[in-house]
Structure 1
Amino acid sequence: LGPAACRSLDAVLADVLQPDAGPTDDAGTAWSAARRQLGDCPTPPAAACARGAALASRAPLLHGDAPPRELLATLCERCAPGNNPCGQAVTRALEQAARRERPDIQEARWSLEHAGATLGTACQELVRSALGPAAVSGPDVEPTLLALAEALSPTCVKTKQLPLPVLNAAAVQQGARAPWLATLFTDGTVETAPIEPDQSTGAGDGFRAFDQDALSGVKLPLESQGALRLGYAPALKHVASFQVRATGPGTLRAIIRAPDGVGRKDSQGAAFYVDPTVCRFRGTGGWEICKPVLPLLDVDAVSVLPERPGVELKELEIIGAR
């Protein structure tokens, strides 16, 4: 039954999707027959899987579990990742949001929840297309893309298909623009302490900001001249807060490793990272405390960028855990 049911499945679905095939669920109807045939087909062919969008349009979510929606759910459970209609629906929604179009967010969430074997791939696409851009310093991310990220991320977190360092970085970078992201990290507290960096690159001696001498300091180069970068080897597993003394305004960015294709590519082109802005300091000469909304995970380095020439970093504490 299996192979025969699969061979004719596309034709059966085409028949029930004809405009005059009503979505009733009486015994013996074409919909019931299609459901039985799909039940006998463990791996639907690509042509049958391609009927997913048509099934979704025949049964909007507000109609509940109508027969076309039930068929679509089964197709998504069984179709291979390359042909999976639910995985494709998630990707399509992310592409629409990136183009400033308005995808159906509820439909995208339903598709992700029913993505079956393609759930991991769909979550990777969410990270690449939405959370990665949301976790880097720079232009604002499209609000629709943020809304989609907030709607889809819980499913990926629940199934452990989402890298928490990128999630937390996006939550910190976006703040009030995507507050739901900050509710998804539920790990317990970690004992923290000030940790000096292992490396300092960029103009000046960055270690002078860690000598506990308020009279010494380091003149901060502008980003175009090569920002001061304070590196950790190995990366800090957890960064909770920052304390800064400076003589002018600037920002701190955390450099956090990311999966391939997510965020920015490093200068060697060998790895990817995200760089959320984790602190904005006014530089009054006194201590300023920055505590991000979530801890930062897997922090490779912290970059210090002045907002104007002549800013001097007097002291810096990076409080975290290895």
Structure 2
Amino acid sequence: MKVFDILPPLDAALRPKKPVVLALGFFDGVHLGHQAVLRRARQEADRRGLALAVMTFDVHPAVIYRGVPAASVRYLSPRPRKEALMADCGVDLLYFVHFTPEFAALAPQAFVDQYLVGLNAAVVVAGFDYTYGKRAVANMATLPTYAAARFAVVTVPEALQDGQKISSTRIRKALDAGDVDLANGLLGYAYRTSGPVVHGEARGRTLGFPTANIDTPAAERLPGIGIYVVRVLVRGAWVPGMASVGRNVTFGAGRPVTLEINLFDFNTDIYGAATQVEWLHYLRGEVKFDGAAGLIAQLQHDQAESEAYLKELGN
């Protein structure tokens, strides 16, 4: 897969020499609904013998349209993760348009002329709710008019699960509530975050449950406070464990939220190592214990539950 940055306006040098099937969307999380769009686009590309291209954005459109501070946005799939997921979906060409105020101000016809025609689209594929300006005039129903027969338009219908739309918003809400089980069901894979292993307070070691403290990038969406079953990719191997997202309330009030992971049967020094954390299952919420003994008993129970869950998964 080749990846390109478009700093508006579109540089003619980035125009594919041959026509492409072009899929459109922000694709945060590349969830099951997004995968349906990409699968339909891949089918069109294969049928026509064309490359599959995707046009997405470098930041969430809300940063420009609603003035949301860019540093405050927490993504389901920051750029490196999105690139990996797109490659898994068979994308050949991935374009990140830098969502500038000038780009956001484009009239619908100008957007179509400069970007869709500009990227040599033979077919444009997007979800039923894709917009490229004001929803009332810049939607998938009006796109054929702007296209003026220069490319075909394929609209992918709404993807539902349990009678509800599969959406990035729904997944974000599930993660914030700690419901990684629901989030994973909507994503179609186990949610991941990343970050290096950093030094913590080393308290877990004194309890018999040493932990790896992970410094999650601010742009990534960490699941809500709670205890989870996880797998961690570190130094080329997936290691099972249990994770705590919380404030360590047993040891004092007003503490910051941290991510600490107890890796099962693992004693290697991994300070500074990069990790990928795969979130598999929610166990319980954070509890304040009267002392270390109660906490240790609970951790023993959590480990037993985690290992039983992992055994069911075949891990």
Q: Give the TM bin, normalised by the shorter chain.
A: under 0.3
**Structure with greater proportional strand content:** 2
**TM-score for the superposition, normalised by structure 2:** 0.26
**Structure with greater proportional helix content:** 1
